[in-house]
Amino acid sequence: MIQLYQKITQLIILELFIKNPYERYYLREASRILEISPMTVKRALDMLVKERLIIREEFKNQILYKGNMESSVFKHLKVTYNLAWLEEKNIVDHLKENLAGLSSLVLYGSFAKGENDENSDIDFLAISSSAKKRDIGLMDVLGRETSLTVLKPAEWKEQAKKNKAFYIDIITEGIVLFGTRPVVG
């Protein structure tokens, strides 16, 4: 696994599969998309297959590669990539500017679990003293569908009682982007 961090080419190739984990790619197709020579891509893919981050499949005498969504390491790398992408988009600062009294911001759903693809929306829970719902331009900032649930602390406490499954998902699977984990006492 340590070899992965020593070669930038492997990371570039791995990024293709992290962004599109459910897509299957032929060697030459990946080479063309990434503008990297087929032999370099082949060596990198062989190493990623050996590390069990990528799956090699044979289909009608053709070899295809795809992300290994069964690998916890791959999923954690995907979550790390997702978080770095959100950081690059300055999403926390944008929401702090647009939501008065923001005390907690939690990423949840497929994006937090590393199960998202290019069509997945991004789910956020914001606990804020001002839970006024207004357009804060998340689609403009992120360039994809988002779901922002904004609740006052008292509303979150009530939600925790009414919708236990949602509450447990936020507490156990959610990733705190700002503030503290919104545990109801």
* CATH number for the domain harbouring residue 101: 3.30.460.10
pLDDT, one tens digit per residue, over 129-139 is 886 666 688 88
What is the average per-residue pLDDT within 141-148? 92
Provide the pLDDT confidence category of residue 5 given band limits of 50, 70 and 90.
very low
Q: Is residue 18 part of a domain?
A: yes
The overall pTM is greater than 0.85:
yes
State the residue range of the domain holding 35. 1-71
List CB contacts of 69: < 8 A, sequence separation 6 or more: 21, 22, 75, 115
Residues 40 and 103 in one domain: no
Tell me if 73 sits within 8 A of 50, measured CB to CB. no
Ranges 21-25, 27-31, 45-49, 181-185: which has the least confidence: 181-185
pLDDT, one tens digit per residue, over 29-40 is 999 999 999 999
Q: Is residue 76 part of a domain?
A: no
Q: Is residue 167 part of a domain?
A: yes
Residues 97 and 167 in one domain: yes
Angle between helix 153-162 and helix 164-173 axes, rounded to 10 deg: 110
Handedness of CA 9, 15, 18, 19 (dihedral sign): negative
How many domains are contained in the chain? 2
What proportion of the chain, given as a percentage, has pLDDT over 90? 80
Angle between helix 8-19 and helix 27-34 axes, rounded to 10 deg: 100
Q: Of 71, 105, 128, which residue constitutes the final position of a domain?
A: 71
Q: Of 71, 102, 129, which residue constitutes the final position of a domain?
A: 71
pLDDT of residue 2: 45
pLDDT of residue 60: 87
Residues 55 and 94 in one domain: no
